[in-house]
Amino acid sequence: MSEVGAGRPAPLALMIGTAADEPGILYELTRVIFEHGANISYVDIAERREGSSTVYFELEEVGGDTGAAEVLIRDLKALPVVREVERAPSFAKVYGKRIIVVGGGAQVGQVVVGAVAEADRHNIRGEKISVDTIPLVGEEDLAAAVRAVARLPRAVALVLAGALMGGDVARAVREIREKGIIVLSLNMAGGVPDAADLVVSDPVQCGVMAVMAVSSSARFDIRRQTGRRY
């Protein structure tokens, strides 16, 4: 299965254990990465405890062969601040594309039933699609959660599952659609259904269609469904 962002080589994923957790550590690591001409596509402080930390990097443009990656790893290991460097499978390879489901608990649960069942059908054939959820109420919290989807790594689609959503939530939906996030909504009161790409009344079917919309193997084109209600 190809990584998220088809057409690009799979990133080099590294877990780097540091000997200290102090200012300047990240600079030392990124300096070596820069000297090798690699591009950092993702970075995260994965663990902090007992005065040390573990930093996770996904790197692109490391080089066209395995040797370039090994030289980079060797130079990282040579840093006094580094305890160990391990190669790891990238998040895209392990978890793949992410669908986020936000809204009321009961509706979220039913959407997830459909999404997980459909994702399983695709994943056993080699694709990788994961489903994340957060039950929320309140316009402010919902709008913040919607906007945050555009900042989540590998998030490609959002399902809004509730009985009433509008106002700032609808504005947030339009904002993240402009950033390329696909938005599906249950048929509910408020302005969110008018702002979404697709409206589906049945929550289980909505989950199924969310997966179909992001799958690279499904014969389903969300662009042909924009503005429709089912």
Per-residue pLDDT, 82? 94
Structural domain contains residue 38: yes
| Band of pLDDT at residue 144, cut at 50, 70 and 90 | very high
Residues 55 and 125 in one domain: no
Q: Which domain holds residue 40?
A: 12-92
CB atoms under 10 Å from CB of 186, counted, come to 26
Instruction: Decide: 132 and 101 in contact? Cβ < 8 Å.
Output: yes
| Band of pLDDT at residue 64, cut at 50, 70 and 90 | low
Residues 179 and 86 in one domain: no
Instruction: Please give the mean pLDDT across all residues of the chain.
Output: 90
More confident residue, 120 or 9: 120
Structural domain contains residue 5: no
Residues of the chain by 3-state class (helix, strand, coil), percent to 5: 40, 30, 35
| Domains: count for the chain | 2
Task: Give per-residue pLDDT as tens, 22-46.
Answer: 899 999 999 999 999 999 999 999 8
Determine if the pTM surpasses 0.85.
Answer: no
